[in-house]
Structure 1
Amino acid sequence: MSLVEINFDGIVGPSHNYSGLSPGNLAATKNAGKVAYPRAAALQGLAKMRHNMELGLVQGFLLPLPRPNAGFLADMAVGAEADPALTAMAWSASSMWTANAATVSPAPDTADGRCHLSVANLVTMPHRSIEWPDTLAQLRVAFGNTDHFAVHGPVPPTFGDEGAANHMRMGTAHGDTCAEIFVYGKAGGPFPARQHEQASRAIARRHGLDPARTLFVEQAPDAIAAGAFHNDVVAVANEHVLFCHEQAFADRQGTYDAVRAMVPGAEIVEVPASAVSLADAIASYLFNAQLLTLPDGAMALVVPGECIETPSVSAWLDAMVKGNGPIRRVLPVDVRQSMANGGGPACLRLRVVADPATIDSRFLLTFEKLESIAAVVDKYWPESIDPADVGTPHLAECIEVARHFLLESQNLKELG
């Protein structure tokens, strides 16, 4: 069986808007009330997928969830006299950030030799807590081959779980047995710590991970307070490389020592606060990048364009590439619509190491399929959404029609 890393990007949904629903996500709250551009957002996401495919990487996708979420509105008894905040929750397109869809443990790491996925409960933010049933249904179609995959429901909502955004995997190669690193929060100043330690430990147990290759690390409270609401805003790992900010972890040296002891040949690429402040790292989403192994074995960092526009970040990246470190290329992409709502290139993707032949092929992208999705987006996605439009019947119908034609174009109508 040929195991490769596949990035499953979320297609930005037609209800993409800026309602500012996530305290602690500084971009989302800063841009609350601004006009959003769903069509441009989706096309930017598709362009990023094309960019990575042109690098020779395997690419998958996940679909936007049904919006507006009529079940949520009914449960909350929202009728004609709509509550604007509850309505906005039901319209949120936040499932586009598939790094929060689930935590994934590939087959080489698990006791039963299957790839395990646990859907995230996302209970900390109300608008995200309603995602998991539809996400779970989609995962069970995409990864429905039970000889190779085990797809689990969420951990109990007593313990918040935000998925792969707080999980890293390190080892010599994607297809080898690796160490899995779970990052949780305990405190974050004015903002909630979204990943609970007990949620991470429950997932490690249900996935059948070897305790000797499993690490639980506390995220630095200062990082959460600064706006790093997930670990992937201050750290990202790929194979033997950990790329992180100096202030990412509560016990910096202890974390590094544990990683080096668990991962043979581990390299830690640390960005010092003296070169790039936490504020600049979070504003530019330097670490919410895709750290990827290219077909020739070199590592590349796919960063948002904001990194190149932030002087301290751009200067550090230039110096890094000129050095002799493990990350050899920096590749900027335009995901500005997602960035304005608090999600960079890494937020938009869920990493799954598997044999592509074991996955439902409808979720694996080809250039032809990419063009068909782009054609639907061009024709049916709203060009713009003002938050004042959220909740209007005409826009609701447009959004539902757009998703219907996307599902039809990809022969996935069972997820309607």
Structure 2
Amino acid sequence: MTAYEVNFDGLIGPNHNYSGLAFGNLASSRNARNTSSPRQAALQGLEKMRTLHHLGYRQGFLLPQLRPDVATLRRLGFSGGDRSIINKAARQAPQLLSMIYSASSMWAANAATVTPSADSADGRLHFTPANLVTTSHRAIEHPQTQRCLETVFADPDKFAVHQALPSQNRFADEGAANHTRLSAGYGERGVGLFVYGRDNRTNLSSLHFPARQTLEASEAVARQHGISERAVFLQQSAEAINAGAFHNDVVAVGNGTVLFFHEQAFEAQSQADAFADLSERLPLQPVCVPRDQVSLEDAISSYLFNSQLLADADGNLERMRLIAPTECRDNPAVNAYLAQLAEDNSQPIGDVEFVDVRQSMSNGGGPACLRLRVVLTEEELAAVNPAFMLDDTRIDQLQAWVNDYYRDELDPSELKDPDFLNECYTAYDALTQVLGIGSYYDFQHA
């Protein structure tokens, strides 16, 4: 069966700001309260999408979430019209504004976990929105994520969009940032590799930062998607978490039969067991980056493993490329390693493309954070809402929309201004008109 891996990137919204809310995300903390550029951020994201489109890949996008999320403030006891609520929150609880204006939903890798129809028990493509309960600003995302996925993947005969797991610490789920689908071909049955940070035996006192994904959450998603017998579970190392690898996709990325990872990414015994299991199911090709060539610190600061690992544009998994952030080119150790990697014919990664997503990187997410990978058959691809598939014309339209409605600069202190709420709403309303999708956002129904 012919199938394709399609990247659906998060379209960065007009609220892109640096509030530094994600404890354990070192880039986010380092740039907290700095002035951001929403326009530059969105244009950089769109140019990355255009780069993949021009390389021959199928490329889609997901809508920005409604920000500010005034509905959350209403649930927290504020009442009145939207502008009035922003004014009240600015006076009474200004710290809540950064939560309800958070830009974090732009990182579509956290939107959901995805299982292709070739793997699932019922032959449908499955999505489970991530509950993201570890951080308050992300925990509010999953209802809007579910709505977006149901809009893009609307055919219930082909797509199953589940509710998020219960919003409990026991089932903390961070989506595809901790999941990799491995297979010998996109249309062939594959294996779901679920990486978790903690289970009921984890010594939490050994962790300086939160272990955001639990084993029980990963097991629950595998059950939902009907792949429990095709799932492998692997524990992230405490060393990696403590170094700032808040998600597995900061220290590892996989595609096809290739797993590209840092030497210190996983707990040793868990890695040995998981790799043995994987090797029985498919011709696993581990590509381990040695710590003496690229330190864990350099890997995390450059986001080497938050590169997109892609098959050749024709789907050939024996020829692969990395879409890496320019920070990898600028880091001498990482750049030297990538040059060596591209010349190593013992593995299929032979090409590296650098992309500038510095606005996203400064907020703690790289090229891989910005996209949700979805394997689609030709029939399923035809059933995707065409408003969300990209070509040059659509990208041009979105770039023109960004230039018309986004600020050049945004300081987090400006979130208290109710006029900024109006700016965001006006931009979202114009976006739905560009896409021709009618009244999508809540305020459009008021």
Structure 1 position 229, deviation (Å): 0.4
Structure 1 position 388, deviation (Å): 1.1
- Structure 1 residue aligned with 2:93, among 83, 89, 105? 83
Return the alpha-carbon distance in structure 1 between the equivalents of residues 348 and 422 of structure 2: 49
- Structure 2 residue aligned with 1:306, among 327, 330, 345? 327
Q: What residue is the counterpart of 1:232 in the other structure?
A: 249
- Structure 2 residue aligned with 1:133, among 140, 143, 164? 143
2:218 corresponds to 1:197:
no
2:349 corresponds to 1:337:
no
Letter matched to residue 104 of structure 2? S
Q: What residue is the counterpart of 1:255 in the other structure?
A: 274
- Secondary structure of the structure 2 residue equivalent to 1:127: helix
Structure 1 position 73, deviation (Å): 1.3
- Secondary structure of the structure 1 residue equivalent to 2:145: helix
Structure 1 position 93, deviation (Å): 1.4
Contact 1:15–1:92 (8 Å) recurs in 2: yes
Return the alpha-carbon distance in structure 2 between the equivalents of residues 270 and 145 of structure 1: 40
Structure 1 position 210, deviation (Å): 4.7
- Structure 2 residue aligned with 1:147, among 157, 162, 179? 157
Residues 185-224 of structure 1: pairs in structure 2 closer than 5 A: 185-186=197-198, 187=204, 189-211=207-229, 213-224=230-241
Q: What residue is the counterpart of 1:326 in the other structure?
A: 348
**What TM-score does the superposition give when structure 1 sets the normalisation length?**
0.97
Return the alpha-carbon distance in structure 1 between the equivalents of residues 31 and 245 of structure 2: 17
Structure 1 position 184, deviation (Å): 0.6
- Structure 1 residue aligned with 2:431, among 406, 413, 416? 406
Going from structure 1 to structure 2, the CA distance change for 1:210 and 1:33 (only over 3 Å counts) comes to: closer
- Structure 2 residue aligned with 1:289, among 299, 303, 307? 307
Contact 1:20–1:28 (8 Å) recurs in 2: yes
Return the alpha-carbon distance in structure 2 between the equivalents of residues 319 and 254 of structure 1: 29
Structure 1 position 180, deviation (Å): 0.6
Return the alpha-carbon distance in structure 2 between the equivalents of residues 250 and 259 of structure 1: 16
Contact 1:165–1:230 (8 Å) recurs in 2: yes
Comparing 76-85 with 160-169, which one deviates more in the overlay? 76-85
Comparing 250-259 with 293-302, which one deviates more in the overlay? 250-259
Contact 2:130–2:164 (8 Å) recurs in 1: yes
Return the alpha-carbon distance in structure 2 between the equivalents of residues 225 and 413 of structure 1: 45
- Secondary structure of the structure 2 residue equivalent to 1:225: helix
Q: What residue is the counterpart of 1:393 in the other structure?
A: 418
Q: What residue is the counterpart of 2:258 in the other structure?
A: 241
- Structure 2 residue aligned with 1:348, among 360, 370, 377? 370
When the two chains are superposed, the root-mean-square deviation of aligned CA atoms in Å is: 1.2
Contact 1:67–1:92 (8 Å) recurs in 2: yes
Q: What residue is the counterpart of 2:104 in the other structure?
A: 94
Comparing 396-405 with 186-195, which one deviates more in the overlay? 186-195
Q: What residue is the counterpart of 2:81 in the other structure?
A: none
Q: What residue is the counterpart of 2:189 in the other structure?
A: 177
Q: What residue is the counterpart of 2:70 in the other structure?
A: 70
- Secondary structure of the structure 2 residue equivalent to 1:164: helix
Return the alpha-carbon distance in structure 1 between the equivalents of residues 164 and 104 of structure 2: 18
Contact 1:110–1:210 (8 Å) recurs in 2: no
Letter matched to residue 366 of structure 1? D
CA shift digits 1:245-284 (9 cap, x unpaired) = 0011112333332322222x21111001111111110000
Letter matched to residue 41 of structure 1? A
2:385 corresponds to 1:364:
no
Return the alpha-carbon distance in structure 2 between the equivalents of residues 220 and 407 of structure 1: 43
Structure 1 position 354, deviation (Å): 1.0
Q: What residue is the counterpart of 1:167 in the other structure?
A: 179
Return the alpha-carbon distance in structure 2 between the equivalents of residues 6 and 295 of structure 1: 10
| Structure 1, unaligned runs of 5 or more | none
Return the alpha-carbon distance in structure 2 between the equivalents of residues 209 and 228 of structure 1: 27
Contact 2:323–2:367 (8 Å) recurs in 1: yes
Contact 1:304–1:334 (8 Å) recurs in 2: yes
Contact 1:88–1:391 (8 Å) recurs in 2: no
**What TM-score does the superposition give when structure 2 sets the normalisation length?**
0.91
Letter matched to residue 147 of structure 2? A
CA shift digits 1:20-45 (9 cap, x unpaired) = 00000000000001000000000000
CA shift digits 1:14-70 (9 cap, x unpaired) = 000000000000000000010000000000000000000011000010010111001
Return the alpha-carbon distance in structure 2 between the equivalents of residues 157 and 90 of structure 1: 18
Contact 2:110–2:174 (8 Å) recurs in 1: yes
CA shift digits 1:126-177 (9 cap, x unpaired) = 0001011111011111111111111000111121101000000111111110
| Structure 2, unaligned runs of 5 or more | 79-84, 199-203, 442-446
Contact 1:118–1:151 (8 Å) recurs in 2: yes
Contact 1:55–1:294 (8 Å) recurs in 2: no
Letter matched to residue 272 of structure 2? Q
CA shift digits 1:76-113 (9 cap, x unpaired) = 23542242221100001111000000000000001110
2:130 corresponds to 1:120:
yes
Contact 1:249–1:255 (8 Å) recurs in 2: no
Return the alpha-carbon distance in structure 1 between the equivalents of residues 325 and 313 of structure 2: 22
Structure 1 position 413, deviation (Å): 2.9
- Secondary structure of the structure 1 residue equivalent to 2:306: coil
Return the alpha-carbon distance in structure 1 between the equivalents of residues 216 and 182 of structure 2: 21
